[in-house]
Structure 1
Amino acid sequence: MAIDRPIFIVGPHRSGTTLLYGMLSKHPALGYLNRANHRFPGLPGFAHLLTRLGAPDDPQEAQHVWDKLWTLPDDRMDASAVTDSHRAFYPALVERVLRLRKRARFLAKYPRLSLRLDWLDALFPGCYFLHVVRDWRAVLRSTIERKLKREKRGGGWFGVCILTWREDQALPPDASSARIFAYVTRELEAARARYPGRLLRIHYDQICADVEGQMKALCAEMGLECTPSFLAGLPRDLKCADYKWRDHLKAERVAELRAADPELFGRYEF
């Protein structure tokens, strides 16, 4: 069965991808991966059974699915990285998930896929990419907060595995976070020329300001019907928290980090 235009939400961690994923997952045409899929990446039938028996069905990144066959030193994967194992596993998994859920199209969100667009397109021709755009300073504040929490729990690297991610572990959290943002954003900007009409940008602050208008426009671009039930289920009390970076980041330090690429960072200050 041909898989009809899957949708992949991308962008740096903490840019609003989870918010968009949660909203779009309520669309009646879209199927997604949940916690059981994450725990049992190669057993979609068993995962579906667990869900029917009461396991949580909220949408998940499902890292164990997307990294199951990842063997490269960083997250950069183009069409040449597709293996026979990838072709055997991923389309079959998505097809099975959609059939079990009785959904027409697939939705996924995982920031590390931001550097795997060509790999995804080779596996799922015609897929859509949704790049969630957010003020880099807000992304930085939120990423630092999550990085520190992860370190306290003894966790490892948090963020997209860019080319320099191993060396970057020695950097202060704000510097490594800014470097991830710049690298991922440059890659996504460059990819727009390769995927005209399929790599769409949506701004976090604009979602918060007009969720219904943004969802209507997005659905129209992706060929999704904006059903009354979908619109009725959208949150109505979203508040943009981008201003919070001012309470956590010193202006002098922001200026130092911006100096690494003032043109790029300047374009992502809203």
Structure 2
Amino acid sequence: MKPPIFIVGPHRSGSTLWHNIIAMCPGLMRLTDPRFLSDKAHKDFRYFLRTSVGDLSCDENVDRMVELCFAKKAIPGLEGVFWRFVRIEVADDPELKGEISRRIKGSDGNLGVIAKTFIEEITRFSGCDRACVKFPVDVGHIPELLQWFPNCRIIHITRDPRAVAMSKTNDPSGTAIKVLRHPRMAWLIRKLSICSVIAQYRTTARAHRRFRHLANYRLFRYEDLLAEPEKTLKGLCKFIDVEFSEELLHPEKGMHLHQPSSLTGEQKKAFDPSAAVRWQDMISPIDKWLITTLTKRSMKILDYDPDTHPIFRGDQRAERRLCEEVAC
């Protein structure tokens, strides 16, 4: 089994596109969001073990845990997409469940062993030799991920915080639901969402500063991917030790999952450079100033300068607005 590839970073940062592209490489198993370790605001696998399973030194509890994990039910702590086993046919194989139980019973049952066992056995039973897992843990738990999988490759993704903020405030599966439930608090909910994005971006920068010296850690920016896909993907392939193929430049040809844009509602399968700058039509001047001011130092740490980035040099929005003003 080859060392796994892990994608970590903030939500709404283009993770689905990165995941789709990597999944096009031969022999790779695509796994999504097991949430073994999350931030304090979300229930993770530890919560599930504590509230639904109990002491794993007892073999009966190990068997119970495995059965619950494959039950495909909305159990607190197992709400990640991983546990729905979408398009994973081996999830119904009793031999897979038996092998996972056997390995965990033969260990001390710590969380790292559980994560390693589920990822490796699902990958092996699916006929693949390497896993690519999106959001296995929260960014703040990269140290644990490195401890569990010392030879893994960690792809840390980022995106312009103003784009993430606009995506989050329009997220149909998140902020929009909260606004519908509490319409009188819509303004406050959206502002809190923006504050959350700012905090996450600054956390991302701190994590990068801490791990950037590691050979098996690399930062990748969403804007780089859309502005210069070939250059970016060649760097990605070199990092994860796979051969670059021209097919990777056409993710629309693969069999993938596609997350709708929270700004347009469309499911883009190919590279769409406009997706990186669309937020400019949605953001208010005060929100743009606030986010830019509070994340400017973090942008520098992440080596991201929107004033010089090619994705903005290729954007014609400002020119179109100027022409419209002149015409009026």
| Residues 247-258 of structure 1 aligned to structure 2 (within 5 Å) | 247-258=281-292
Residues 6, 136 of structure 2: 8 Å contact kept: no
Could you say which residue in structure 2 is the equivalent of 1:71?
none
Output the TM-score relative to the length of structure 1.
0.68
- Paired with 2:90 and 2:120, the residues of 1 have a C-alpha distance of 22
Q: Provide the alpha-carbon RMSD of the alignment.
A: 3.8
Could you say which residue in structure 2 is the equivalent of 1:89?
114
- Paired with 1:172 and 1:179, the residues of 2 have a C-alpha distance of 11
Runs of 4+ in 1 over 4 A off after TM superposition: 46-50, 152-155, 168-171
Name the CA shift for 1:124/1:41 in 2 (closer, same or farther; >3 Å). Answer: farther
| Residues 166-205 of structure 1 aligned to structure 2 (within 5 Å) | 172-193=192-213, 195=214, 197-205=215-223
Out of 221, 224, 249, the position equivalent to 2:242 is: 224
Name the CA shift for 1:171/1:207 in 2 (closer, same or farther; >3 Å). Answer: closer
- Paired with 2:153 and 2:189, the residues of 1 have a C-alpha distance of 32
Which structure has the greater CA radius of gyration? 2
Q: How far off is 1:107 after superposition?
A: 0.6
- Is 1:234 aligned to residue 251 of structure 2? yes
Residues 32, 135 of structure 2: 8 Å contact kept: no
- Paired with 2:209 and 2:91, the residues of 1 have a C-alpha distance of 41
Q: What is the letter of the counterpart of residue 23 of structure 1?
A: I
SS in 2 for 1:238: coil
Could you say which residue in structure 1 is the equivalent of 2:28?
30
Could you say which residue in structure 2 is the equivalent of 1:42?
69
When the two structures are aligned, how many residues end up with a matched partner?
A: 224
Out of 157, 181, 206, the position equivalent to 2:224 is: 206
Could you say which residue in structure 1 is the equivalent of 2:11?
13
Q: How far off is 1:120 after superposition?
A: 0.8
- Is 1:126 aligned to residue 151 of structure 2? yes
| Residues 48-87 of structure 1 aligned to structure 2 (within 5 Å) | 51-52=88-89, 84-87=109-112
Identity of aligned residues (%): 21
- Paired with 2:299 and 2:117, the residues of 1 have a C-alpha distance of 40
Name the CA shift for 1:125/1:180 in 2 (closer, same or farther; >3 Å). Answer: same
- Paired with 1:175 and 1:132, the residues of 2 have a C-alpha distance of 20
Q: What is the letter of the counterpart of residue 192 of structure 1?
A: R
SS in 2 for 1:106: strand
Q: How far off is 1:204 after superposition?
A: 1.2
Name the CA shift for 1:248/1:6 in 2 (closer, same or farther; >3 Å). Answer: same
Name the CA shift for 1:169/1:181 in 2 (closer, same or farther; >3 Å). Answer: farther
Q: How far off is 1:212 after superposition?
A: 3.8
Residue ranges of structure 2 left out of the alignment (5+ in a row): 37-66, 72-82, 93-107, 183-187, 254-269, 307-328
Residues 33, 135 of structure 2: 8 Å contact kept: no
SS in 2 for 1:259: helix
Could you say which residue in structure 2 is the equivalent of 1:68?
none
Q: What is the letter of the counterpart of residue 284 of structure 2?
A: K
